[in-house]
Every structure is written in structure tokens, then in C-alpha cells.
Amino acid sequence: MKDMLLKEYAKLIVRIGANVQKDQIVILNAPVEAYAFTKLVIEEAYLAGAKKVVVNWSYGEDNKLYYQYASEETLKEFPEYNVKRLEYFMDNKAAQISVGSPNPDLMKGIDPKKFVIASKAANEKIGFYRKYMMSNGSQWTIGIVPNLEWGKKVFPDVPYYEVIEKLWGVILEACRVREGEDVVENWKKHHAQLAEHREKLNKYNFKSLHFKNKAGTDLVVNLVEGHIWGGGSEKGQNGVTFSPNIPTEEIFTMPHSHGVNGKVVATMPLSYQGVLIEDFWFEFKDGKVVDYGAKVGKEVLKTLVELDEGSSRLGEVALISHNSPISNMGILFYNTLFDENASCHLALGNAYTMNIKDGYTLSEEELMKKGYNKSMAHVDFMFGSSDMEIIGTTQDGKKVKVFTKGNFAF
């Protein structure tokens, strides 16, 4: 039965996630450890009509060894052939599927400065592609598969020989892949439910949101004028509807890059560049991080905040009810894709142009004048809780209760 469920999961990623079109090229990023599942995704992509599936295999330990031994000069290099590949994929409107298999502690012990050097080098050469994908130039999606190291982190008390099966079980349930049910129909219903909240928030057209809880968060987030709430399915600039994150529970929009004030306290650890950051907080003034702290991983957090001007400002604010399927599992996944869908979250760094009126057609300069944030980074961190209260202020000054006791009030 598990084999059938894995085929359904592959179908979900290809048909709902990327929504691969006939004669479309598909870029598939996958770890070598997940070769068996990757094969299912490849086959499903061809069944959906893909012209060619190009697989980019990766191996986490190989990546770690590279950062461990590469010189700073080497890290500053970015191969031209990789630039040409991405130009080709962009020109041909290729769909992109990423199958992740995270190890939250993979890069522990590596000098954080090395990640900064490599990120800046990559952005200089292929920043155009990142901008293209974050503007939904074509379809893209992300799914997750288990591995032993991650499983032992999530379920430390489960015998190692049962960990993979245990993790598969919760992944499939979180993604609404269930025995005897049609996964495509499940997701159509799910998208419809997310659309209800999205439409209500868009009708309110809030000027700002005030977040407060007992963990210490007291934060006012101004939203850009003409902001648009997204969530669930999205439409690419090529006109194709897709679902970027598998799973997804969030409704999100664009904060004003210079309009955030107060303190936010994270309620879950953050795995950034393969290193865990724990018990951390940020203080904002006029949109910028002016102070921050962490009990574990502060040096890595420093590299994020100081990566560039935009990495110290917000690019996303997302709402998720505490009473939601992934949150109700009561599992800390140590992985942003899953943990962010169990909690309200914010993202430091680049904003999504889909979250503002005419975002796909306005120039970068025009967008930034409206409050759009530009950065090499886009890193989500979770701050939701069961006692989160959110008050929205409308354009005419009316106060509306958006969240009460961690959940939507409407």
C-alpha cells in the first residue's frame, strides 16, 4: 500500500505542485538518497506530457566537504556553464521541481562566512534566475522526502530502523496523501478553503497588522499599498496555475520594507545553511532589524541579517491558524517547509512580486518605492503560538480582530 501512496505523492508534486504541461521541460533537483522516489516523479512528469526531465542530483555530504575544504577564492567562483543552463531553462519556460531531504545539522562546524561568500558569488551570476522564479515566471514546487539523520532529529526516541517509515507517515498525512482518497480532489478542496481566507483578507485591505503574544512578540507590520494576499495555488506569468509548497497551509502577503516596528520572538528553531538557530528574536525600527539575539547559532543569524541591506528587512508576512493539520500533529520538524505551515511566520529578505498590484509589470525601482524589499535572501522564521492575537487596522482606521487565541477570528 505504501508504494501506491508514494505514487500518489509523486502525482501530487507533478500534477498539483508543478502542474507540468505538455511538451514542457522539467528541471528536477533531487538528492541521490531519494533515487527511488525521484524515479516516480520522473515517470509522472513524462506521463503528464513533459518533453524532457533534466535531473540535477545532489549529495549533502559532498556539499559539506566542499564548504569545509574550498578556499575563499574558490567560493567566489561561479561556473559560466551553470549560468547558460539557467538562461536556457528560463528562455524555454521550464517548470522546476525540487525534492528536498533535509539534514538540519548538516553544516554544523562550517565557518558561516563561507556561505556568505558563496551566496554573493551566486547572486552576482544568477540573481536574474532567482528573480524570475520569485516572480513566478514559470511553475515551481518543493516537496520533501525523509532521511535517517533528519528522522532521528525529529523522532529521537524511535528506533533507527523505524524512523524512515515513521517520517514517511507524517509527511504523507501532512500532504493529504491518504489511503483510499484521491489526492488531486483533496487538494482542490484544500485550495478552495485557503481561497476563502485569502479573499476575506483582500476585502479588508488592511493598512497594518499588530501581533501580540505571551512569548514576547509585540510587533506592528504595515502592509504595502495595493497588497494582495496569496496562498494555496498561484498563477505563473505563463498563465499556468501551480502550488509552490507541498504541503501548504499559509495565507501570505507583502509587508512594507520600511514599516515594521517592535519585537518578534521566534517560537521554533530555524535551520539556516544547515545550522540550527534556537531561541532567537529580532527588534525592528522603521522596517529594519536594529537588534537581535539567539541562545544557539547567533553567529549564523548574524550572517543572515548582515548579508545585504534587504536581509535585515521583511519580505513576507504569513498567517496560519494554530488549529491546523500540521500544527495539530505536535511535531517539531526542524524544517522550514513543514514548520512554517504549522505557525504564523515572517520572512527576512526578498518579497514576492505577486503580492502587490501590478507586481509583474512594475520595474524594480517602482516596486521599491511602494515598499517592496529586495535581497539575496528569503528566509522564513516561525513566531506563531496558541495565544497569538492579531488586530488589523483598515485604511480608514477601523480595528478588526484577525486572530484570537492563535486562530482566525473569521
Task: Tell me the average pLDDT of the chain.
Answer: 97
Q: State which residues form the domain around 221.
A: 204-408
Count of C-beta atoms within a 10 Å radius of residue 239: 7
Count of C-beta atoms within a 10 Å radius of residue 151: 19
Of 153, 174, 195, the domain-final residue = 174
Sheet holding 95-100, edge to edge: 52-58, 25-31, 95-100, 140-144
Domain count, the chain: 2
Question: Per residue in 240-280, pLDDT tens?
Answer: 999 999 999 999 999 999 999 999 999 999 999 999 999 99
Does residue 309 sit in the same domain as residue 382?
Answer: yes
Percent of the chain past pLDDT 90, that is, above it, reads 100
**Bridge partners, 253 (sequence order):** 317
Mean pLDDT to the nearest integer, 187-199: 95
Does residue 240 sit in the same domain as residue 135?
Answer: no
Question: Per residue in 296-341, pLDDT tens?
Answer: 999 999 999 999 999 999 999 999 999 999 999 999 999 999 999 9
Residue 181 lies in a domain: no
- Which of helix, strand or coil describes residue 270? strand
Q: What is the pLDDT of residue 2?
A: 84
Does residue 211 sit in the same domain as residue 160?
Answer: no
Look up the CATH number of the domain holding residue 93: 3.40.1830.10
Question: Per residue in 199-231, pLDDT tens?
Answer: 999 999 999 999 999 999 999 999 999 999 999
Residue 92 lies in a domain: yes
Amino acid at 223: L
Does residue 161 sit in the same domain as residue 101?
Answer: yes
Question: Per residue in 28-49, pLDDT tens?
Answer: 999 999 999 999 999 999 999 9
Does residue 93 sit in the same domain as residue 239?
Answer: no
Contacts by residues 392-401 (CB-CB < 8 Å, ≥ 24 positions apart): 392/204, 392/206, 392/208, 392/209, 392/210, 393/206, 393/207, 393/208, 393/209, 393/210, 394/204, 394/205, 394/206, 394/207, 395/205, 395/206, 395/207, 400/204, 400/206
Residue 61 pLDDT greater than 90, yes or no? yes
Does residue 232 sit in the same domain as residue 306?
Answer: yes
Of 157, 174, 191, the domain-final residue = 174
C-alpha cell at 51: 518533453
C-alpha cell at 52: 524532457
Residue 98 lies in a domain: yes
Does residue 155 sit in the same domain as residue 223?
Answer: no
Does residue 227 sit in the same domain as residue 144?
Answer: no
pTM: 0.95
Residue 198 lies in a domain: no
Residue 1 pLDDT greater than 70, yes or no? no
Cβ–Cβ under 8 Å, residues 383 and 344 = yes
Question: Per residue in 135-144, pLDDT tens?
Answer: 999 999 999 9
Question: Per residue in 81-102, pLDDT tens?
Answer: 999 999 999 999 999 999 999 9
Does residue 251 sit in the same domain as residue 295?
Answer: yes
